[in-house]
Amino acid sequence: MKSLIAVGFASFYGLMIRLLFGFFDDFMGIMTLSALVLAPLVMGFLTVYLIKGVKNYAAAFFLPWGTSAVILFITLFLNIEGSICWVMIYPLFSIAAGIGGIIALAIRKRNEKPEPPKNGYWGQGRWSLPLLLIAPAVTGLAEGDRILNREDMNSSESVIIQAAPEEVWKQLTNINEIPVEQNETSFSEWMGFPRHVSTTLDTIAAGGKRLATYEHGLYFNETIADCEEAKSLVLDIKTDPTKIPPTVMDEHILIGGKHVDILRDVYTIEKLSDNTCRLTLSSHFWINTPFNWYAGIWAKYLMSDILSSEIELIKIRSEEPK
């Protein structure tokens, strides 16, 4: 029972911190070290701090993962966060919470020595715990957007197609409507990224406009920067985040927003034989977070998954019996 109360209190604290960061998003954004590292660390500390029966470091590390899971389900249920965001951030969030639990147990063990501090478990400073509780909010205000770091990235995927380059080019420039059976569910779609439903192109020449449409109102306006028939297609991408419905994607990974944007896609067709070629799709994009070392892993993985889905569609259509 005490364990449930401890997890409940730590979860309530975490939820309040999340709501606070959301309410003051202009000053202390969610995509900060304060919100995604320090706050869960304090949650993990509270979890172990309140459960006096935790005796070993393994339990102290993994018990706060349960607290993190409670926050996950509450914020998903209340539509505060999207599933795609949680899938990406839960490992980092839980590890930070686990470290907080280890710190709490280490302090407890120190205070259980033969001559513990007079003021008990938390040591000599009576204000130490209250200061710890407000630390994420204080550091969040200080952090703001100041340590965001834009990093340009590239991702590329290729597929071998048993068809002539001319046929691949034809399918690439005439995608139009995409039936569900030609678009198998990818990992990115499982995470919550909208399904690609159609792509239209008005002119196959420099300056031509291409519109890629996805479910729930997501779309990309693309302009042909360069093209060479049956060889290459270069597309500059412009996304207006204000025209994307807020229910489509989590605000923190909104394409064209503060933290991520896609700039250019390049299709390249390489002839291998009369009836075989290699289709490559490369994408140039950027991310803008204080922890690009972590966000970049997910960004590259998801982008590779999306690119693979796009070229697999062309492969399927190009290889269909005519």
The pLDDT value given to residue 145: 85
For the sheet with 232-238, list strands across it: 149-161, 276-289, 260-273, 232-238, 219-228, 209-214, 196-201, 176-177
Cα–Cα distance for residue pair 192/103, rounded to 1 Å: 35
Contact 151, 287 (CB under 8 A): yes
- State the burial class of residue 1 (Cβ atoms within 10 Å of its Cβ: 0-12, 13-18, 19+): exposed
- pLDDT digits over 48-62, tens only? 998 888 889 999 999
Q: Where in the chain is the domain with CATH 3.30.530.20?
A: 149-319
Residue 93 CA to residue 41 CA, distance in Å, equals 8
Asked whether the beta carbons of 18 and 71 are under 8 A apart, the reply is yes
| Alpha-carbon span 126 to 205, nearest angstrom | 71
* Per-residue pLDDT band at 127 (split at 50, 70, 90): low
User: What's the count of helices (H) and strands (E) in the chain, helices before strands?
Assistant: 9, 8
Return the higher-pLDDT residue of 153 and 76. Answer: 153
Is the pLDDT assigned to residue 224 strictly greater than 90? yes
DSSP annotation of 258: S
166 or 27, greater pLDDT:
166
Q: Residue 279 — very low, low, confident or very high, per pLDDT cuts 50/70/90?
A: very high
- pLDDT band for 192, please (50, 70, 90 cuts): confident
In CATH, the number for domain 149-319 is 3.30.530.20
Of all helices (H) and strands (E), which one includes residue 156?
A: strand 149-161
Kindly tell me if the per-residue pLDDT of 182 is higher than 80.
Answer: no
- Which of 36, 55, 33, 34 minimizes the C-alpha distance to 101? 55
**Whole-number average pLDDT of the chain:** 88
Integer Cα distance of 58 and 64 in angstroms: 11
Q: In this model, does residue 264 exceed pLDDT 60? A: yes
- Could you give the CA distance from residue 45 to residue 136 in angstroms, rounded to a whole number? 13
pTM of the model: 0.84
